[in-house]
Copies of this chain bind each other. A is one copy, B any other.
């Protein structure tokens, strides 16, 4: 828990309350851990951190919390990293786009209208009904360049 994640947790509490979602203790703890990480964190890394707060937690605790948080839209899973990041905005979205810096490990979530439209156009043309999608863009962030 820190200055950065406390406001986020306040927001998350209200966000969940407004939707009938239960932000229980383990869920809130894991959310705090993901927020505080500030970059992608794996389930086992989160488990290790959680172990500093509660006694000897087990993997299912973290995985269940992450599943819940994902469904709630509070965290995203970066598939290409097997890791999780907090959603950068308090918005429902079934799709997400990430700029993943392979040098420093940071991930920036972006919202690109044109990207959204391009995917909509493509799926429509193919007669495909899109549920959710994600674009994971690997490369080098601004800071990490000469």
Q: A15 to chain B: closest CB distance in Å? A: 24
Q: Does any Cβ of B come within 8 Å of A1's Cβ?
A: no
Proximity string of chain A (109-137) to chain B, C-beta cutoff 8 Å, 1 when within and 0 when not: 01010110111011100111111111111
Interface size class of A (residues with CB under 8 A): 35 or more
Question: In the complex, A131 Cα to B137 Cα: how many Å?
Answer: 7
Query: Which B residues touch A129, using CB under 8 A?
Result: 139-140, 145
Inter-subunit contact B102/A131 (CB<8 Å): yes
Query: Which B residues touch A110, using CB under 8 A?
Result: 122, 126
In the A-B complex, list the 8 residue pairs whose CB atoms are closest, starting with the nearest. A127-B142, A79-B79, A133-B137, A114-B118, A115-B118, A130-B139, A135-B135, A131-B139
Residues of A in contact with B (beta carbons under 8 Å apart): 79-80, 97, 99, 101-102, 108, 110, 112, 114-115, 117-119, 121-123, 126-142, 145
